[in-house]
Structure 1
Amino acid sequence: MSEAIDTLNVENLQKYLAARIADFGTIQECTKFAGGQSNPTFMVRTEKSRYVLRRKPPGLLLKSAHAVDREYRVMKALAATQVPVPRMLTLCDDDSVIGSMFYVMEFVEGRIFWNCALPERTPAERRAIYGEMVRVLAAMHTVNLEQAGLTDYGRPGNYFERQIKRWTEQYRASQTGTMPAMEKLMEWLPANVPADDGRVALNHGDYRIDNVMFHPTESRIVAVLDWELSTLGHPWADLAYQCMHLRLPPDAAIPGLGGLDREALGIPSEEEYVARYCELTGIKAIPNWDFYIIFSFFRIAAILQGVYKRALDGNASSKKAMDYGALAGPIAEMAVAMLP
């Protein structure tokens, strides 16, 4: 029997985890974390320690969505690399335990910043935080895939062609009405894919400031989180996706830096950020940058449409799902405004 999205079957969970995690103890509390539009995430506390549980939501789901098993695999593989991730403890694919697949990882102490303008930080801290963001992104994109055991983590062929096809299908599967901007993007993007340059790297798929955890007092990332959309793909997709988030309006449900004085804030400009990434990864420049940005807007619009559909179906992880989902149309229109 499936559990409600905000609750866990503690009795079943206790038996399962006590048999698989050494010195686990007795569950005292299970609390769902705020935020997160996809996979519900809980803090599980025993008298001995704290853990984080991340599960698939119950109910009917889009094909290939909510891949917590892929999250578990990639973070386990990255434990021996320069990419900071929590330690993975167990993966459960038996739906009878709590109603859906889940994994448990260590609880990491740190800070998550929900607003990319970092209003509570000083200019020097903001510059250091963004410097760390790009450093870790470059480290992710230079992971030795063979040594990490991830050579089969994605499919061969042009990454952007595959992604455009995938997110077009996902959008169609969650479509709730006609969105002219999305129709235009689904026409323009396949016709303007840059030639495949052969670059393949580990892609996070949702790399942004609220999906990384910083040290409690230092401007250092201690954990990269939310790997659900990760795959092998083109590294510049991750870079453009993060820069796309920074272009969004500061008053949107997903706040960005659009229109803000970055120099006064101490936050690098997009040009500076991209130049630093190029320096760290040993490349001179990124051609066709506008394509990657437009693709990123299209992709997040398709994702947000899925959030909106889940909200309508009563199957969304966050109470803000309707607000996030309502951004799909405006974001698609921003992308169309960039078309040549």
Structure 2
Amino acid sequence: MDFSSLTPLEGGWSGQTFLAEAAGERSVVRIYPPASREPAAAEIDAAVLRLVRGLVPVPEVLEVRPADPAADQPGLLVTSYLPGVRGDELLPTLEPDGLAAVGITLGRLLADLGGMPMLHAGPFVDPELRVGDFGVDGLPEYVEQRLPELGHLSPGEIDGLREVALAAQALLDTVSRACLVHSDLNPKNLLFDPESLALTGVLDWEFAHAGHPYTDLGNLLRFDRAPAFEAAVLEAYAARRGTTPDPALALARAADLWALVDLSTRRQANPVAARADRLLRTIASSGDPNAPAPPG
């Protein structure tokens, strides 16, 4: 493939996803530098797309090539191009009724993903989607592991984060099963038909893993908290999964703490990580996982 003919796609922070066009046909090319992830990363991502295709609107895998570190050759994943408008562009334009309609769609999507069972939590380690081990026993241990990278937090914030992590883990332990987790399921990675508001694509599965059923719900509602949208997401999710909105939201906030800690360690990488860092510090200071999200 001629990399010089590729056009960077807007919306991501990695700078590794491009639009290709040949003979009037569009496709999407994702490049995996040898040092960015494991050599099989492109194959793992392709396997996840094949797993969910037909259940979730995802692009078709057209070509996949693993990285070759010895030859300094990047991995490559080519998929079909999906139409639609990104959710981060669409949601700000919608009135409450439109936000509620999109929220219902996404609540059902999250519930369906939360119902795709895995034997245990962990990262996908090969193209067969075998599940490995995260190497950490719970959120409190994870916080301790990442503290050297959280030196910008005050002593009070660190103490508060430890307390929040303990309470969050106790809540998360009330749900013992694992499921397929997208792990970056926010409006930037969702495509919609701007007229019908139908979901046309779920993109960027590079962080997919086997994990907690409420992880994706926490990700989606981290910053997007318009009342009509949040209520519709929670009601649709709860109806599909046989729970009620308030416990679902509490579990979602608890599950999202894992990602907030990780993003806080990378707070200078991009605006989303910086905003997540501000949210984590607010949660740590207040002791409230449901603390208001900071402005973008």
Relative to the length of structure 1, the TM-score reads 0.67
Q: Tell me the SS of whatever aligns to 1:50.
A: strand
Is the aligned partner of 1:187 residue 2:147? Answer: no
User: What percentage of residue pairs aligned between the two structures are identical?
Assistant: 19
**1:236 is aligned to 2:214:** yes
Distance 1:133-1:119 versus aligned 2 partners, 3 A rule: same
Aligned-residue offset at 1:34 = 2.0
1:21 is matched with none
Deviations 1:128-161 (CA, angstroms, capped at 9, x unpaired): 1111111211222223669xxx99554589x994
1:40 aligns with 2:16: yes
Aligned to 1:5: none
Aligned-partner Cα distance in 1 for 2:279–2:177: 28
Which structure 2 residues correspond to residues 99-138 of structure 1 after superposition, within 5 A?
99-115=73-89, 118-138=91-111
Structure 1 unmatched ranges of 5 or more: 1-12, 15-26, 248-256, 312-320
In 2, distance between residues paired with 1:65 and 1:275?
Answer: 41
Letter aligned with residue 75 of structure 2: M
2:52 equivalent to 1:78: yes
Q: State the 4+ residue runs in structure 1 displaced beyond 6 angstroms.
A: 63-66
Question: Gaps spanning 5+ residues in structure 2: where?
Answer: 120-126, 289-296
Code of the aligned partner of 2:96: P
Counterpart amino acid of residue 183 in structure 1: I
Residues 65, 39 of structure 1: CA spacing in aligned structure 2 closer, same or farther, 3 A cutoff?
Answer: farther
Structure 2 counterparts to residues 141-180 of structure 1, below 5 A: 141-143=114-116, 153-155=130-132, 161-162=137-138, 169=145, 171=146, 175=149, 177-180=151-154
Cα distance, 1:46 vs structure 2: 1.0
The 1-side partners of 2:277 and 2:117 are apart by 38
Over aligned residue pairs, what C-alpha RMSD do you find? 3.7
Write the distance in 2 (CA, Å) between the matches of 1:199 and 1:296: 17
Q: 1:288 to 1:168 in 2, by over 3 A?
A: farther
Aligned partner of 2:263 in structure 1 is 303
Alignment match, 1:9: none
Label 1:28 to 1:217 Cα distance change in 2 as closer, same or farther (>3 A). farther
1:214 paired to 2:192: yes
Deviation at 1:66, TM superposition (A): 11
Aligned to 2:123: none
Count of residues in Structure 1 that have an aligned counterpart in Structure 2: 276
State the AA in 2 paired with 1:273: V
- Give the counterpart letter for 1:187 in structure 2: R
SS of residue paired to 1:136: helix
- Partner in structure 2 of residue 200 of structure 1: 178
The aligned counterpart of 2:253 is 293
Higher mean displacement: 298-307 or 282-291: 282-291
3-state DSSP of counterpart to 1:336: helix
Q: What residue identity is the alignment partner of 1:125?
A: G
Distance in 2, matches of 1:99 and 1:167, equals 35
Please state how far the C-alpha of 1:294 moved relative to its aligned partner: 4.5
Q: How big is the shift at 1:287?
A: 4.1
* 2:281 corresponding residue in structure 1: 333
Of 218, 235, 248, 1:275 maps to 235
Alignment of 1:2-17 (within 5 A): 13-14=1-2
Q: Which amino acid aligns with 1:38?
A: S
